[in-house]
Structure 1
Amino acid sequence: MSTPHNQAQMGDIAKTVLMPGDPLRAKFLAETYLEDVKQFNTVRNMLGYTGTYQGKQVSIMGSGMGQPSIGIYSHELFTQYGVEAIIRIGSCGSLQKNVHLRDIIIAQGSCTDSNFAHQYELPGTFSAISSYDLLEQAVVKAKEKGLNYHVGNVIASDIFYHADQGSAQKWASMGCLGVEMESYALFATAAHLDKKALTLLTVSDSLVTQEETTAEEREKTFTAMMEIALEIA
């Protein structure tokens, strides 16, 4: 049983899937941390792998960029492959002066400028939040590791190059910690399907200080976030 976007068969994918946006980050993670690794997807180069971490079966698959992309992959994983939880492990831009390069953001909730939740025909605005048990476990692990972390709201934007150059500051004024492009759709999809979801983000650049990391650093050095996700999967 495959889908238009995933060639995996039932049983190829674990109950918990870690989802970086970049499929090459999925490849790096699988090759670095998993044992007995098997690749289950290459369609559109959205690489997916299943293996074991400390004796526990875990899958890792790229989600691509943006909410339409993670909306497709997460929906198929939840509905076609029996996945129960997805942990997004991504990068983000900091919106606050106390959220520094390489700090970890554990997203408690996600704001958005997307119309993603329109499909549910709700009589209002849906607040997309993470699954508390996953959130709590991530906080415990971050504390144990002595990491610099922050818990709170992020903004999941559909727009990378925004015509309104003051957009980021408006979200920052409402307390959003960082900006990325996937979490709202993941949280909404999980809520609609009664599944679990969490987003862990490493700060790759700062919209406050203009500091930034390289593409290779984002692919291969955000290991603290990756290890938290693996340990709570």
Structure 2
Amino acid sequence: MATNSTPHIDPKGAPIAETILLPGDPLRAKFIAETYLDDPVCFNEVRNMLGFTGTYRGKPVSVMGTGMGIPSISLYSYELIHFFGVKNLIRVGSCGTVQPHIDTYDVVIAQGASHDSAYMEQYGLTGTYAPLSSWRLLSAAARVASERGVTHHVGNVFSSDIFYNADADHNTDWGKMGILAIEMESAGLFANAAHATHHLGYPVDALGIFTVSDNILKGTKTTPQERQTAFTTMIEIALEIA
């Protein structure tokens, strides 16, 4: 399964663990590696999409930036799964909630991911496919969040291709359908994992864990400094289930 390199990932002999955390920002990947992993080694610098492998409580764990949007995370997660044998992929990032009862700093754990992306068209399905996260990772993350007393919400998120939408009601309309929060990547990641599970013949698990950076309905936002602390809680949950 493992290969030497792909067009976008060149480990140069460095290991990539079967479990990986996937923040969008490559500098966030560097922060996670330097803060939480023992003996981190950089395994990728192609296009400055930094990736690192180390150990967390004695277990090999990798972390790598993915960029923004479904096309970007889908490209990297596909290569990680199919060429480097990664089996557990946990997206960690920020989200904007569209529910009045969810506050900034809360953690959202994605059970499923609705979307407005053309990415799913490649599978030739005759209906609308709603990719789900891994129940194994989902239940473990919810348990850890509960044990730590973290305010968290489990449910459906919306993976949007559009950050600046011309339709001002676009996000709030999704909130009326029970969507907890808006982000931009999980649907592609979950679909890649589901498709790989079938074609590779073994489970490939994926999950999204998010920190609420703003409430779109209330107009409340966190500052960059505040996000640093909020991200820490989310990252620790992800590492605990890694």
SS at 2:221 equivalent: coil
Q: Deviations over 1:72-123 (max 9, x none)?
A: 0000000000000100001000110111001000000000011110000012
1:128 alignment partner in structure 2: 131
Amino acid at match of 2:62: S
- Matching of residue 111 in structure 1 with residue 114 in structure 2: yes
The 4+ residue runs of structure 1 with deviation greater than 4 A are none
Between the aligned partners of 1:109 and 1:147, the Cα distance in structure 2 is 20
| Corresponding residue of 1:156 | 159
TM-score, normalised with respect to structure 1? 0.97
1:96 maps to what in 2?
Answer: 99
Q: Work out the number of aligned pairs and report it.
A: 233
- Greater shift, 213-222 or 96-105, is seen at 213-222
In 1: Cα distance, 2:5 partner to 2:225 partner: 32
After TM superposition, the structure 1 = structure 2 runs for residues 196-207 of structure 1, keeping only pairs within 5 Å, are 196-207=205-216
Asked if 1:14 corresponds to 2:17, the answer is yes
Q: In the alignment, is the contact (CA less than 8 A) between 1:10 and 1:81 conserved in 2?
A: no
| Other structure's SS at 1:129 match | coil
Aligned with residue 82 of structure 1, among 77, 80, 85? 85
Unpaired segments ≥5 residues, structure 2:
198-203
| Contact preservation (8 Å) 2:99, 2:175 | yes
Query: Could you tell me how far apart the structure 1 residues matched to 2:181 and 2:136 are?
Result: 22
1:214 Cα shift? 2.8
Residue identity in the other structure for 2:89: I
Aligned to 1:61: 64
Secondary structure of the structure 2 residue equivalent to 1:51: strand
Shift of residue 9, structure 1, vs aligned partner: 4.9
Q: Equivalences for 1:34-49 in 2 at 5 Å?
A: 34-49=37-52
Show the counterpart of 1:30. Answer: 33
**Distance in 1, Cα, partners of 2:222 & 2:42:** 29
Given that residues 28 and 220 in structure 1 are in contact (C-alpha distance below 8 angstroms), is that contact kept between their aligned partners in structure 2?
A: no
Alignment partners' CA distance in 1, 2:227 and 2:68: 14
Q: Does 1:228 align with 2:237?
A: yes
RMSD (Å), alpha carbons: 1.2
Q: TM-score, normalised by structure 2?
A: 0.94
Instruction: Letter of the 1:27 partner, please give it.
Output: K
State yes or no: 1:193 paired with 2:196: yes
Instruction: Measure how far apart 1:3 and its partner are.
Output: 1.0
In structure 2, relative to structure 1, the CA distance for the partners of 1:141 and 1:28 (3 Å cut) is: same
Per-residue Cα deviation, 1:25-78 (whole angstroms, up to 9, x for no partner): 111111000001100111111110000011111000001000000010000000
With 7-16 and 98-107 compared, the bigger mean Cα shift is at 7-16
Change (3 A) 1:219 1:8: farther
Q: Whole-Å Cα distance in 1 between the matches of residues 48 and 236 of structure 2? A: 24
Give the percent of matched residue pairs that are identical in Structure 1 and Structure 2. Answer: 54
Shift of 1:215: 3.5
| Structure 1 pair 41–216 and aligned structure 2 pair: CA distance change class (3 A) | farther
Report the CA distance shift for 1:216/1:24 in structure 2 as closer, same or farther (over 3 A). Answer: farther
Structure 1, unaligned stretches of length 5 or more? none
Q: What is the rounded CA distance, in whole Å, between the counterparts of 2:186 and 2:96 in structure 1? A: 14
2:219 aligned to which of 202, 210, 219: 210
In structure 2, C-alpha distance between the alignment counterparts of 1:219 and 1:122, rounded to whole Å: 40
